[in-house]
Amino acid sequence: MISFDNVGFRYGVGPEILRDVSVTIEAGSFHFLTGPSGAGKSTLLNLMHLGLRPTRGFLSVLGQDVGTLSRRRAPALRRQIGMVFQDFRLLDHISVFDNVALPLRLDGGREREIRRDVTEILQWVGLGDTLKACPRALSGGEQQRVAIARAVVARPGVLLADEPTGSVDEVIGQRIIRLFEELHRLGTAVVIATHNQGLIDRFPHALLELTEGHLVRQPAGALRR
Ligand SMILES: Nc1ncnc2c1ncn2[C@@H]1O[C@H](COP(=O)(O)OP(=O)(O)OP(=O)(O)O)[C@@H](O)[C@H]1O
Ligand SMILES: [Mg+2]
């Protein structure tokens, strides 16, 4: 699904943040991505989401070589990837409902089905009563759950989530991971960047660990101990 081959990345003329990254995210896999603050987790997810391009090496996303992908074709490819941004990136001038409906409307879905799916996912994340609210009127944890609902509503083939439990309590955090596991059971490849060691210990998934620009893959939880 996503394949890095000796990828390096630097912002402008800054130091190289990612070095010699070679990893494949297979269809239907589930990974936690961890590493200290500033290690490059968000940068790595943004490369996978085509928000950034490698400064060296080879990256392929959903069968497309990112190095030769035209700007015109990138948005359609991107729409196949659900992304929960660390800073949410909700649209403040439209309602919670419309934020979550956006990916379905871009896909040309029917309004009646959109209403059903959006209502269902917002209920699942505990926001069934805030459909008409403006995102700015919600707490940080509520906004985070809207961002999660938007990322999963179209059942993308790939789901990337950047600290998706950073603003919610432990109970809701575990519920969110179970939602991602549900999607994974339906075939989605999932990558979750997190600092939360509790989650990593509790849910037995493979681990991608970033240290000093290098990425190392560890096997699933039970094998790690
Ligand atoms: N737009 C940018 N321009 C220049 N440098 C940047 C930019 N974004 C991030 N960096 C730098 O790249 C490095 C990696 O940042 P990144 O946000 O990917 O780390 P992270 O692992 O996600 O950290 P955190 O756990 O705090 O979210 C940091 O040193 C950061 O200062
Ligand atoms: Mg980050």
CA distance 160 to 156: 10
Locate tokens 């919670």: which residue?
Answer: 96
181 lies in a domain?
no
172 lies in a domain?
no
167 lies in a domain?
no
58 lies in a domain?
yes
Query: Does residue 219 surpass a pLDDT of 90?
Result: no
Query: Does residue 179 surpass a pLDDT of 90?
Result: yes
Tokens of 21: 């990254």
Tokens of 115: 């209403």
User: Please, which pLDDT band fits residue 223 given cuts at 50, 70 and 90?
Assistant: low
**AA letter at 135:** P
Q: Is 39 in the pocket of ligand 1 (CB under 6 A)?
A: yes
Helices 140-152 + 111-124 axis angle, to 10: 130
Identify the pLDDT of residue 183: 94
119 lies in a domain?
no
CA dist list (Å): 143 to 67, 140, 223: 34, 5, 35
User: Please, which pLDDT band fits residue 148 given cuts at 50, 70 and 90?
Assistant: very high
Q: Ligand 1, residues 7, 9, 11, 46: which to mutate, most atoms within 8 A of Cβ?
A: 11
User: Please, which pLDDT band fits residue 217 given cuts at 50, 70 and 90?
Assistant: confident
Identify the pLDDT of residue 221: 60
- Ligand 1 centroid to Cα of residue 42, in Å, is 7
- Ligand 2 centroid to Cα of residue 112, in Å, is 36
Identify the pLDDT of residue 218: 85
> Is the separation of the CB atoms in 172 and 143 below 8 Å?
no
The mean pLDDT of 138-145, rounded to a whole number, is 96
CA distance 24 to 62: 11
The CATH number of whichever domain residue 217 belongs to comes to 3.40.50.300
Query: Does residue 222 surpass a pLDDT of 60?
Result: no
Longest Cα separation, the chain: 50
Closest residue to atom 13 of ligand 1, CA basis = 38
98 lies in a domain?
no
171 lies in a domain?
no
Query: Does residue 210 surpass a pLDDT of 80?
Result: yes
Q: How many domains does the chain have?
A: 1
**AA letter at 112:** R
CA distance 1 to 8: 19
Q: Which atom of ligand 1 is nearest to the CA of 86?
A: 27
Provide φ and ψ at 5, rounded to 5°: -130, 105
Helices 111-124 + 96-106 axis angle, to 10: 130
Q: Is 100 in the pocket of ligand 1 (CB under 6 A)?
A: no
Query: Does residue 205 surpass a pLDDT of 60?
Result: yes
Q: Which domain holds residue 34?
A: 1-74+194-225
47 lies in a domain?
yes
Per-chain mean pLDDT for the chain: 94
Helix (H, G, I), strand (E, B) or coil at 116: helix
Q: What is the pLDDT of residues 83-123, one digit of tens each?
A: 999 999 999 999 999 999 999 999 999 999 999 999 999 99
CA dist list (Å): 5 to 36, 54, 57, 140: 23, 10, 6, 36
Identify the pLDDT of residue 203: 93
What pTM does this model have? Answer: 0.95
Q: What is the pLDDT of residues 31-65, one digit of tens each?
A: 999 999 999 999 999 999 999 999 999 999 999 99
214: DSSP letter:
E
User: Please, which pLDDT band fits residue 132 given cuts at 50, 70 and 90?
Assistant: very high
Identify the pLDDT of residue 27: 93
The mean pLDDT of 171-189, rounded to a whole number, is 94
